[in-house]
Amino acid sequence: MIHFSNVFKRYESGYDALRGVNFHLEREEMAFLTGHSGAGKSTLLKLITLIERPSRGHCVVNSKNLLKLPRWRIPYFRRDIGFVFQDHRLLFDRTVFDNVALPLVVSGCSYKETLRRVHAALDKVGLLNKEKMYPITLSGGEQQRVGIARAVVNKPPLLLADEPTGNLDEALSDELIDLFQDFNHHGVTVLIATHDLRQVRRLDRRVLQLAQGQLIYDSIADA
């Protein structure tokens, strides 16, 4: 699903965010990406979602060569990736329903189908009764779950999360990570960037650790 070989990323400022990263994430696999702030976790996720382009190396995501993907194909490419942000990034002037429906609206889904899928996604994260509310009235954990519902509503084969438990207490974090695990059981490839080592230990999944732009530990390769 994700194939990185010898990937470098240097920002215009001259800062080297990634230096020769190699890893391969199989389809339907679930992994944690760990490391201190500034280790390159965010940059790696940005390369996968084509927010940034690699400076050097070979990246293939969902069978697409990221170096060769033309600009106009990027939106279509991103529709196959669900992304969960640390700060949710919900639209506060729209209801929960409208927020979750956004990826479907963007890809031109029919209204009937949208209704069905949004309800399914909200049901999955346990917020079906709050579809008409505005995100501002929800708790932090609920907002994050709305974000997750939005990420999975169009059933992407790949789900990425950037510090999804960053602002949540332990119980809520457990609930959230279990949700990701559940999606993984249904065949979705999941990659979670986090420095919440408690979750990493709790789940016993593959771990990729970055430090100063280099992959210093891969639980599969080093096992």
Residue with tokens 């949004």: 118
DSSP per residue over 99-165, as a string?
Answer: HHHHHHHHTT--HHHHHHHHHHHHHHTT-GGGTTS-GGGS-HHHHHHHHHHHHHTT--SEEEEESTT
- When asked if residue 65 is in the footprint of other proteins (CB under 8 A), the reply is no
Among 59, 102, 146, 176, which residue sits at the site for other proteins (rule: CB under 8 A)? 102
Show the binding pattern over residues 162-201: x = contacts other proteins (CB under 8 A), - = does not: ----------------------------------------
- Closest approach of Cβ 81 to other proteins, in Å? 8
At 75, list the tokens. 């939106």
The C-alpha atoms of residue 9 and residue 67 are separated, in whole angstroms, by 12
Residue with tokens 């790949």: 158
- When asked if residue 67 is in the footprint of other proteins (CB under 8 A), the reply is no
- Closest approach of Cβ 113 to other proteins, in Å? 10
- When asked if residue 53 is in the footprint of other proteins (CB under 8 A), the reply is no
Among 22, 49, 95, 219, which residue sits at the site for other proteins (rule: CB under 8 A)? 49
At 154, list the tokens. 């169009």
Among 70, 108, 112, 132, which residue sits at the site for other proteins (rule: CB under 8 A)? 108
Among 10, 24, 64, 78, which residue sits at the site for other proteins (rule: CB under 8 A)? 78
Among 40, 54, 103, 213, which residue sits at the site for other proteins (rule: CB under 8 A)? 103
- When asked if residue 155 is in the footprint of other proteins (CB under 8 A), the reply is no
- When asked if residue 205 is in the footprint of other proteins (CB under 8 A), the reply is no
The answer to whether 121 touches 152, Cβ cutoff 8 Å, is: yes
Chain center to CA of 215: 19
Q: 106-128 b/e with 16+ CB inside 10 Å = b? A: eeebeeeebeebbeebbebbebb
- When asked if residue 83 is in the footprint of other proteins (CB under 8 A), the reply is yes
Residues 112-131 that bind other proteins (CB under 8 A): none
At 68, list the tokens. 């060769």
- When asked if residue 89 is in the footprint of other proteins (CB under 8 A), the reply is yes
- When asked if residue 14 is in the footprint of other proteins (CB under 8 A), the reply is no
Torsion of CA 205, 206, 210, 211, to 10 degrees: 70
Which residues sit at the interface with other proteins, rule CB under 8 A? 49, 51, 72, 75-79, 83, 89, 91, 102-103, 106-108, 110, 150
